[in-house]
Structure 1
Amino acid sequence: MVHTAYPSSYYAASANCTSERPSLREALETDICVIGAGYTGLSAALSLLEAGFRVVVLEAARVGFGASGRNGGQIVNSYSRDIDVIERSVGSAEASMIGAMAFEGARIIRERVARYHIDCDLKNGGVFAAFNARQMRHLESQKALWQRHGYEELQMLDQAQIQQVVATNRYVGGVLDRMGGHIHPLNLALGEAAGVESLGGTIFEQSPVVNIERTSSPVVRTPEGSVRAKFLVVAGNAYLGDLLPELAAKSMPCGSQVIATEPLDGDLAASLLPQDYCVEDCNYLLDYYRLSADKRLIYGGGVVYGARDPDDIEAIIRPKMLKTFPQLAKARIDYAWSGNFLLTLSRLPQMGRLDDNIYYSQGCSGHGVTYTHLAGKLLAEALRGQAERFDAFASLPHYPFPGGRAFRVPLTAIGAAYYNLRDRLGF
């Protein structure tokens, strides 16, 4: 059987615990079988176990192997398309409910970190940075929108104020989200996995699902074992492959690239981001960055549609970093890695049911750290018979990519190029 290790990344190199869990080599029965040990699957498992269900989690590689263990580590509220887009897509009742949940994922993360004593370098505060007046107007509208849904944690920053937050002259202003923040993403996943096991749940690694028997009591088969369950939770996201073709048809894996510098001198690190906030800009193809606990700058950006790994990640991302921080011209890059997230045509997440006993959530579209934790809770609520909030997300319309799988990459890239040009021209 193929053994899949963590990709070489700063997160894997600094993980709290690298001990492996066994693969599935027997036939089991349980209440809920969860496919995927990323944030969605782990969050669902924790919520289900807390409610008294028996849970088995199957992971094709390692806990947090996918986007959950490779992302930028930023706690960003709301969704990849904001609440106003949702308001135009569904009725006012559903939109109001989804809007009320837009800030819950960040609270869930903090609750889990406290409850399960997870050491993941949690820091508070995230900044959205604007390059021009158009983006500032968007941030002002976003602040008003979030306030309309009960969120009062945003603070506008003018040019002088944002230069006190981040040592670059690129931005004309921004907004601080006091309840945003950042974490070591793989250590968060590993801590949640330990929480699952502390509640009696079982996680099998190196156990890819090769077949699902969709019966009244579905059976999930791996190369050397099987799990019969009352319900399935499908949480594979960009790494699900074609296991369930109806899910693959409405989504597209995409890659994002990240680098991490050598540990920086303490004074230099403090000068770059004096309050230790994380930052993302307001471009369509945005850059994002933060300091790690050991004072490396972690910088990411760009998208590769179709999830192809670039030959030279440093050559792509280092110039972006130096455009923001030319003072790092002599800094060594110690790590460079890529990871996949799952894009939907609407950029809104997909949640729903396949048959009566298979539930799924996917398609965070690059905005998954908070949403996945919310999604896991909603999946558990639905399986407990409290499906109102789950059904609000399930009501969001979703469509296949135009041209089918053969044309989804080039057509999406063309659309992204248009928005990238708009960003460059400032309109």
Structure 2
Amino acid sequence: MNIADIASKNANPGHAPSWYAASANDRRLRPILQGETSADVCVIGAGFTGISAALELAERGFSVVVLEGERIGYGASGRNGGQIVNGYSRDLETIAKRYGPEKASKLAAMSLEGGNIIRERVAKYAIDCHLVDGGFFAAFTDKQMREMADHRAHWQARGHAGLDMVSKADVGKYVRSGRYAGGMIDRFGGHIHPLNLVLGEAAAVESLGGRIFESSRVTGVDQGPSPVVRTRTGSVRAKYVLVCGNAYLGELLPEIGGRMMPVSSQVLATEPLEAGLIETLLPANYCVEDANYVLDYYRRTADNRLLYGGGIGYGGQDPKDLTAVIRPNMLKTFPQLAKVKIDYAWSGNFALTLTRIPHMGRLSDTVYFSHGDSGHGVTTTHLLGKILGEAVAGHAERYDVWSSLPNLPFLGGKTFRVPFTMIGAWWYGLRDRLGL
């Protein structure tokens, strides 16, 4: 099925033509901002970071306005693989070497919180997003198995008791594929329908008095003691502004946008499979990601599809035929799906930093930002959104930890960041293929 055919099926205008958009629980169009208004806090971006921050603030009694240029969950928050993966895009050992043991311990203490926030909000606000517990990390080589065992030891030393190594003989309990040498399960991992999660959280914001405006792209931010956020048709005067645009921030604030790079990932969803078949492929209903540098990730959906993702496009560039990129990898894992139809294929951008660690800080005393979750956004965005809310409420201890981490510009600036990053990715991809 080509993209034109898929787009014609999209009954949720303004979203990517994904399975998520087609199966969204809430398709209401929020109003466009018209004229002038005010709030304690104006949040730019209605993805996980912005909505997480807005919900934290609304629960604390702040008046909140959220401005979204497209639809709630339009970007990576509504298009990702839907996997609850704990930790960060760099392991705790690397973080300790870079930033010292004290900061590493503080980040480790927060590393499971993102998943906990999701589960708490799903329960508190009765969000129907197909939450399922359990994740599996698949290793191709004995070297990757040794690395996983080392990571497990570091995690356990910091109190993460949910990890267990899986031998090659036991891989079939989680995924029936002959590709893997073993792996590791995370009982605190899991998977969700990400668009329904962010829509449910947005509805919770509104239930507490928050206002969300869609199709209201921000055109400028007047910084100062009483900042004003402007769109083409209106403005919001606020005490604080939270910039949560991530990979879709564009050129709005070049001083922070230049510190991250949009990167695309591609996802497909098969037609619904017979229950017996999908249960054979993924018996425990855990989500799976492999241990390669450019990794594949996949899981079952609530309607028995296989959702399979991977690929990478630095600079946010997409291949012309998304299915042609992802389907061959899917068939390497599950060759028995050769005749299965692909019903949906889509892509989305996430924000990558050079350090692969999120970038959080302030542009002024009243304008805060957070972006660059670097592929671990489902959990990290929930954590950092909450921390932004804490900082506005006067509890900046955890914010100070994150904002103190150095953020580095990409080599070659915007002009050469893509080719330089591609060279690095090629090298690590070669190491994966050679088993080095």
Fold shared, TM-score > 0.5 on shorter chain: yes
CA distance in 2: counterparts of 1:351 and 1:86, whole angstroms: 16
Amino acid at match of 2:216: S
- Is 1:340 matched with 2:349? yes
Aligned counterpart in structure 2 of residue 182 of structure 1, from 170, 173, 191: 191
Partner of 1:58: 67
Aligned counterpart in structure 1 of residue 176 of structure 2, from 141, 147, 167: 167
1:52-98 CA-partner distances (Å, limit 9, x unpaired): 11100000000000000000000000001112221112232222111
Q: Quick check: 2:289–2:298 contact (8 Å CA) kept in 1? A: yes
1:96-116 CA-partner distances (Å, limit 9, x unpaired): 111100110000000000011
Cα deviation, residue 385, structure 1: 1.4
Q: Secondary structure at the match of 2:218?
A: coil
Cα deviation, residue 4, structure 1: 7.4
Aligned counterpart in structure 2 of residue 392 of structure 1, from 397, 401, 418: 401
Q: Quick check: 2:241–2:367 contact (8 Å CA) kept in 1? A: yes
Runs of 4+ in 1 over 3 A off after TM superposition: none
Q: Quick check: 1:6–1:12 contact (8 Å CA) kept in 2? A: yes
CA distance in 1: counterparts of 2:210 and 2:324, whole angstroms: 43
Partner of 1:259: 268
Q: Quick check: 1:4–1:61 contact (8 Å CA) kept in 2? A: no
1:235-273 CA-partner distances (Å, limit 9, x unpaired): 000000111111111110010000000000111011000
CA distance in 2: counterparts of 1:209 and 1:4, whole angstroms: 20
User: What pairs with 1:7-86 in structure 2 (closer than 5 Å)?
Assistant: 7-86=16-95
Aligned counterpart in structure 1 of residue 421 of structure 2, from 398, 412, 424: 412
Partner of 2:4: none
User: What pairs with 1:234-383 in structure 2 (closer than 5 Å)?
Assistant: 234-383=243-392
Amino acid at match of 1:363: G
Q: Quick check: 1:24–1:224 contact (8 Å CA) kept in 2? A: yes
CA distance in 1: counterparts of 2:104 and 2:207, whole angstroms: 36
CA distance in 2: counterparts of 1:213 and 1:310, whole angstroms: 38
CA distance in 2: counterparts of 1:141 and 1:393, whole angstroms: 25
Q: Secondary structure at the match of 1:323?
A: helix
Range with greater deviation from structure 2 (86-95 or 33-42): 86-95
CA distance in 2: counterparts of 1:99 and 1:395, whole angstroms: 16
CA distance in 2: counterparts of 1:306 and 1:294, whole angstroms: 33
Cα deviation, residue 308, structure 1: 1.1
Cα deviation, residue 164, structure 1: 2.0
Percent identical:
60
Q: Secondary structure at the match of 2:96?
A: helix
> Where in structure 1 are there 5+ consecutive unaligned residues?
none
CA distance in 1: counterparts of 2:114 and 2:394, whole angstroms: 21
- Distance 1:237-1:412 versus aligned 2 partners, 3 A rule: same
CA distance in 2: counterparts of 1:315 and 1:69, whole angstroms: 22
Range with greater deviation from structure 2 (384-393 or 124-133): 384-393
Amino acid at match of 1:291: R
CA distance in 2: counterparts of 1:207 and 1:69, whole angstroms: 18
Cα deviation, residue 140, structure 1: 0.4
Q: Quick check: 1:284–1:423 contact (8 Å CA) kept in 2? A: yes
Cα deviation, residue 288, structure 1: 0.1
CA distance in 2: counterparts of 1:229 and 1:89, whole angstroms: 37
- Is 1:140 matched with 2:149? yes
CA distance in 2: counterparts of 1:4 and 1:224, whole angstroms: 21
- Is 1:88 matched with 2:97? yes
1:251-309 CA-partner distances (Å, limit 9, x unpaired): 10010000000000111011000111100000000000001000000000011001012
Q: Quick check: 2:331–2:338 contact (8 Å CA) kept in 1? A: yes
Q: Quick check: 2:269–2:344 contact (8 Å CA) kept in 1? A: yes
Q: Secondary structure at the match of 1:135?
A: helix
CA distance in 2: counterparts of 1:195 and 1:216, whole angstroms: 29
Q: Secondary structure at the match of 2:373?
A: coil
Amino acid at match of 2:289: E
Q: Quick check: 1:49–1:199 contact (8 Å CA) kept in 2? A: yes
Partner of 2:8: none
Partner of 2:129: 120
CA distance in 1: counterparts of 2:15 and 2:134, whole angstroms: 29
CA distance in 2: counterparts of 1:406 and 1:234, whole angstroms: 24
Partner of 2:139: 130
Q: Quick check: 2:224–2:364 contact (8 Å CA) kept in 1? A: no
Amino acid at match of 2:302: A
Partner of 2:3: none
